[in-house]
Chain A
């Protein structure tokens, strides 16, 4: 809110493009939403647009304009009205807009570039404040701190998430050199949860981290474990992502919590994963139903080599791609939980970087989640 308009130094928002179609026609295009506002105004006001860099106050700008001409509207506070209009539309922002967000100062400093990004893609600084505050408070559980989980966790910290429940039973091995975000020679043999905890604290000293260093099994009591949790990430591929995904999805549907099942696991390196919002998107059982259709006739022979686990291939760059797309999906959810998220699966092929994304429909007779449709 501007207290003293005369002292305000108007600044054009970075996320708005300005097109000058004539001397008196200007179109403002919001880069993120592509929303357009077309106005007709006096050429002098159009001229003033290039001065709105946050360096000059209204008082100074008004004088400058008066030096150009003594148009009647200027004497009637026309310029101020113009500025107020643009401010009301979010085209101009307060130069101290970040200070006005009530979050810790150091936290905002670290996240300055992200706050700018959020301003570019939302409608107002109030929105940015709401989004980042939600991120600040959110409690996230990450199952599996492997190739994808470790990088995703890193990106979540970098985006300002700070309340974590980390679930993994394993220790760092020398073979993780080509995979995990937190790999260092000196961490070999140390529990992944511990190493991840340290990584988080090295970026956010105030982060709140809880650890559950056991495997996710059929007996894991999710109700207790995830009592306080707002958002769940599944990057646990033992014994198989399909199973862990189903167990977690069924919990999430019951307790109406969002779940990100990431892709990028063995034999499906280029898959991009999906966000499950109970009642809105298909749940894991819907996905399962969809995929089981034409698979009957495709069954490999029993592989002659018995111990195959250590012989699968992967690139850290592909894990980072999967983790990053998952992180983007998660922040999109926090920016607007009511965004129309579709059931979908993305797959990247390494040969030519072809990425196909196709829809997966909700199963209207799904015995796990279809009852949520009836609640609406």
Chain B
């Protein structure tokens, strides 16, 4: 640490709360990217003076020299604390981040990951391989947003062709009409990032073997894999079950990419096989809570129903999925996924999100008590 040149992270503010008493001063550190606070009390103004001038121009040893060797222990432990709490970074990391085209993402992650691990975590995120089943509305948004977040290895599975009516909510344009959706998205991705590796799989998943084979071939590369189920109506139930089985068998984390229901955008759950509730655990709970209030009321089944959709609802669902992917890909306990064991609904009429808990079930036929 002696040779590190630390600076207060530029997005972190140091706020005096109560400094009247010099031997007991109260400050807040405010991490503005994520609006979180680290409240601290000080009995020595030496430390607050150090923070106020921590601009990356002085090494730790020179700070100690100027302040006095008797404070060495205090200063080391203070700096370690500041590193641990993501409040400071060394200038070398700061410059490396500033030169990286994805610096906004790195600076955001820096609110959760200490400077000395940030590029390791960034590497984890970069190197995850994301499989996306279904390149409909939500799938198209997720693919592009992932690449804009640093992920560049994708497998896209869909057999459809871009049609005019897709343009109201999927990220295609008129230039894509007639192309396979996976090709259109692949083109868009490569225009963002020339070195993106995109596997295009022109299939509709209707058999377990299909998805198992795809996953098997990916596993050969020893990559971390994550799967996102964006299967659209009418395949949603069949495909979801097959994906669930394949992911559980291979212990691959997967996300059910929500969906929508009129003014509600569903925020899908994240499933970590044998750690959190799985698709079947959730089905059990959902069945229980969806029982009609009065037993003798029957709802008329409407198999041909075609509920409409809007671009912003797709945007909302996909934004939460992308957050979850970043968290899972990071492999950091500080950034564990937030959509495990629950599902969310965003109500645009009230601008509210509500969550339904969907806990792991011991009576689950799939994961029951297994680890």
Chain A residues in the interface with B (C-beta under 8 A): 12, 14-15, 17-22, 31-32, 49-50, 53, 106, 109-121, 151, 154-155, 158-160, 174-175, 177-179, 183-186, 199, 202-203, 205, 266-270, 272, 297-301, 303-308, 310-318, 320-321, 323-325, 327-329, 331-332, 344, 346-355, 357
Contacts and interface: CB of A to CB of B under 8 A. Distances in A.
26 contacts: A12-B302, A14-B308, A50-B300, A110-B164, A112-B168, A114-B169, A116-B307, A117-B307, A117-B309, A177-B101, A178-B104, A178-B105, A267-B32, A272-B351, A301-B52, A304-B7, A304-B52, A305-B56, A313-B11, A313-B104, A313-B106, A315-B326, A320-B315, A320-B316, A323-B312, A328-B312
B46 interface: no
Nearest to A158: B311
B313 interface: yes
Question: B-side binding surface: helix, strand, loop or mixed?
Answer: mixed
A202 B175 contact: yes
A156 to B, nearest CB: 9
Given A113-B169, A183-B148, A304-B55, A314 B104 contact: yes
Contacts of A327: 311-312, 315
Interface stretch (B204-212, B250-258, B291-299): B291-299
Interface in B144-197: 145, 148-150, 164-165, 167-169, 171, 173-175, 191-194
B341 interface: no
B167 A175 contact: no
Nearest to A354: B353
Contact of B165 (A109, A267, A301, A328): A109
Contacts of B174: 202-203, 205
Contacts, number: 282
Given A115-B308, A185-B191, A305-B8, A17 B149 contact: no
A15 B10 contact: no
A312 B338 CA distance: 23
A353 B168 contact: no
Contacts of B296: 21-22
Contact of B308 (A12, A17, A118): A118
Contacts of B33: 267, 269, 312-314
Question: A-side binding surface: helix, strand, loop or mixed?
Answer: mixed
Contacts of B21: none
B351 A311 contact: no
B10 A120 contact: no
Nearest to B305: A14
Nearest to B322: A317
A307 B98 CA distance: 11
Contacts of B110: 313
Interface in B340-364: 344, 348-353, 355
Interface in B12-69: 13-17, 30, 32-36, 51-56
B351 A110 contact: no
Contact of A110 (B141, B165, B352): B165
Contacts of A22: 296
Interface in B271-306: 294, 296-302, 304-306
Contacts of B111: 313
Given A121-B263, A205-B174, A357-B352, A49 B300 contact: yes
Contact of A266 (B32, B301, B312, B352): B32
B103 interface: yes
Given A313-B107, A316-B149, A113 B308 contact: yes
B108 interface: yes
B164 A304 contact: no
Q: Which 8 A-B pairs have the closest CB atoms?
A: A117-B308, A313-B108, A116-B308, A313-B107, A324-B315, A311-B10, A300-B13, A313-B33
B94 interface: yes
Given A19-B299, A177-B102, A184-B192, A305 B55 contact: yes
B165 A113 contact: yes
A324 B15 contact: no
Contacts of A112: 165, 168
A350 B323 contact: yes
Interface string B111-142: 10000000000000000000000000000010
Max count, chain B CB within 10 A of own CB: residue among A50, A114, A115, A348: A114
Contact of A120 (B8, B167, B173, B308): B308
A294 to B, nearest CB: 13
A202 B55 CA distance: 47
Contacts of B315: 151, 155, 320-321, 323-324, 327
Contact of A315 (B52, B323, B353): B323
B260 to A, nearest CB: 9
Nearest to B354: A355
Contacts of B305: 14
A316 B168 contact: no
Contact of A350 (B14, B34, B51, B311): B34
Contacts of A15: 262, 307
Given A21-B296, A49-B300, A313-B106, A325 B309 contact: no
Contacts of A297: 17
B319 interface: yes
A175 B99 CA distance: 9
Contacts of B169: 113-114, 158
Given A298-B15, A304-B8, A114 B310 contact: yes
Contact of A321 (B15, B263, B300, B319): B319
Contacts of A205: 174
B198 interface: no
Contacts of A154: 171, 311
A325 B351 contact: yes
B60 to A, nearest CB: 15
A205 B148 CA distance: 27
B320 interface: yes
B244 interface: no
B103 A175 contact: yes
Contacts of A159: 168, 310-312
A351 B34 contact: yes
